Each structure stands twice: as C-alpha cells, then as structure tokens.
Amino acid sequence: MTATAAERAAMTHALEIARRGPRGLNPQVGAVILSPTGDVLAEGWHRGAGTPHAEVDALSKLAPAELRGATAVVTLEPCNHTGRTGPCAQALIDAGVARVVYALDDPGVRSGGGAERMRAAGLDVVAGEQADAAEALIGDWLTVQRLGRPHVTVKWAQSLDGRAAAADGSSQWITGPAARADVHRRRAAADAIIVGTGTVLADDPALTARDGDALLPRQPVPVVIGARETPAEAAVRRHPHAPLFYTEHDLTAILADLRDRGIQRVFVEGGPTLASAFLAEGLMDEVLAYLAPVLIGGPKLALGDIGVSSIGEARRLVVDEWLPLGPDLLAIARPAAADEAAENDATVNAVPADENTSRNDPSRSEGEA
C-alpha cells in the first residue's frame, strides 16, 4: 500500500509546518487532514510540551461530520500512550478517520505502537512516506531517544605535536581564521556549548556563535562546569542566553538535566581536563580535532588522561572527513563500531606500546573568545 499523489503533497506540507514548532523535549511534528477526495481540510502542528499534538490540533479545527472517511497525514507515527495529552492514535480512531499516512515510526517504548492500534481498529495505515525528510527534520530528537541523552561533540584545537597551549598557558591563536570561523558555524548548530571553569577564568570567552563581530541568528546556551565561581563581570554572563552553571562533576547527571531542558545537541569546547573527562566516560558521539601546522612542545597537551593504560584500550575512531581549513586541517571523527575497531586493531597490533606514560592535566584549551 503506497501513498497517493495528494497524500505525498500533504506530507511535504506537513513537514514544512512541523518546523513552526519549537525544538525541545518533544519532536517537531506536522499533520494535514484530507477529505476522501484528497482536498485539504485542516492542518496542525505541535507547539511544545503540554500542548495538543499535531494530529489533535488539526482534528480540533473540523466538525465530526467532516472527519468521517478522512485521511490524516502525519510526519511521525501517532502516539499510543497517555502523557500530558491522550493517545493520538485513539483520537484518530474516535474521530472516524479512515486512513493514516505517516513518515517515521515513533521510537518510544511507551509512545510507539500507534500504527498497530489503528490497524486493529480497521484503519488503513501507510508508513514510511518521505521518511528521510522527516528524519532530517527531527534527527537530533531521535538521537536523544536512542542515547537517552543529548548528542555530544567534543572539540579541541592542537598543534601538530598535540599541544593545546604553550608552556606559559598562552593559546591564542593556534589555528587560523578559517578554522576559527568553522568553529563558530558549528557552535551555531548546537543547542548548548560546554566549557570548564578553568577556561572561563583563564580566557573569559563569550561562548557566542559569530560571523566576524556579528552574532549569528542561532546561539547555543552556554554551560559552565566546575566548582569555582564565575565572576559577575565575565563575558559569558552577557551571553544572549542565560548561562547554566554546574558545580558537580557528574557528567551523566549534567547531560540528563540538559536533556530534560530540551537540549538535543551539545558542543564541548574544553579545556583539556573537561574534554578528557567526557572521553574517559565514553560520552562522545563526534570528535572535531583541529590540527595546526605548528610545533609548541611543553606540557600543555590537548588531552589528558582518558582512561587508556595500554594500546589495547585505545579509543578507536573512524574519521569520516578530513577538511582543509586554510593552513589547518579538521578531522571529523566518530567512535568506531565493534567491527571497525577490530579492523583497526588488526592493522596496528604489531605497533609497540607507547612508552610515554606521563599524564598531563591542563585546565584550558586554545582560547576561544
């Protein structure tokens, strides 16, 4: 069973109106109600937690007689549980809708299963219409459902010999303008930017996303982790978003709180102590390592202890892209899957273990204003 031309057009429109809803705890969802002849009767979208879901929003605009035999086109499988609102699958059944076309299955253990419920009630149900476009729209939300926490990108900049700063702590600038501009673009794509108090106290970063001196339209929420007090005059306190401060060091708990605040994607900028802590706990989905053609030497390593004591424990990565940025090079990497890690191990098992077992724990990264 496939979607009709009218239903495909309705799905395209439903995806467009879904974007009117906010990013956050709930996914952006759009719905369009069609008559039995394919005419658009109503549309709706989800406006945030506690408000009617897209299907119910659309249904509320029609009289019961108009809904008999209608088709609902929805960007996400109608939910099957009662939370702040009732199950949308049952609402569609009760309304007399005859057919439902949706894009993506609901991944929730409690909220999924709406399609089965509607089929059991005698409705025609078509799944997968424009699924790729729907996944592109709410991919970050889907990742949060899968991981149980926000997606984590860990970023650092380093010299070719692996240093984040000179021996005196100075670090502006290791990388060039093109690399720094790339960082700001990626900041703007995140919901939150995380640093440690060492970086705040040493560099006084604004933690904004900028194009030159101008603020980009989308700004990440600044997050500062550490027990030391952030000064009242610190630049981060003038950020467009009120900063979040965590004095605890339980990263799992911090990420859980950010998830509950609707944060879906975080950007960890450091310094090295904080970046190393995220890596040591396996709380990393993407690495952005900016490599500059400069030698610094000294003790200020880009990473400290990440819990690796032998080469067999090394955190294997897959580099998805090497991106030249002026004289610098960006490695965009992700954790290797088990089969990819095994393949990497096979290519390096003859390499002797690194004899340098010293541990360095600098408190800041290359300064980012």
Q: Which residues are the active-site residues?
A: 55
Q: 3-state secondary structure string, the chain?
A: CCCCHHHHHHHHHHHHHHCCCCCCCCCCCEEEEECCCCCEEEEEECCCCCCCCHHHHHHCCCCHHHHCCCEEEEEECCCCCCCCCCCHHHHHHHHCCCEEEEEECCCCCCCCCHHHHHHHCCCEEEECCCHHHHHHHHHHHHHHHHHCCCEEEEEEEEECCCECCCCCCCCCCCCCHHHHHHHHHHHHCCCEEEEEHHHHHHHCCCCCCEECCEECCCCCEEEEECCCCCCCCCHHHHCCCCCEEECCCCHHHHHHHHHHCCCCEEEEEECHHHHHHHHHCCCCCEEEEEEECCCCCCCCECCCCCCCCCHHHCCCEEEEEEEEECCEEEEEEEECCHHHHHHHHHHHCCCCCCCCCCCCCCCCCCCCC
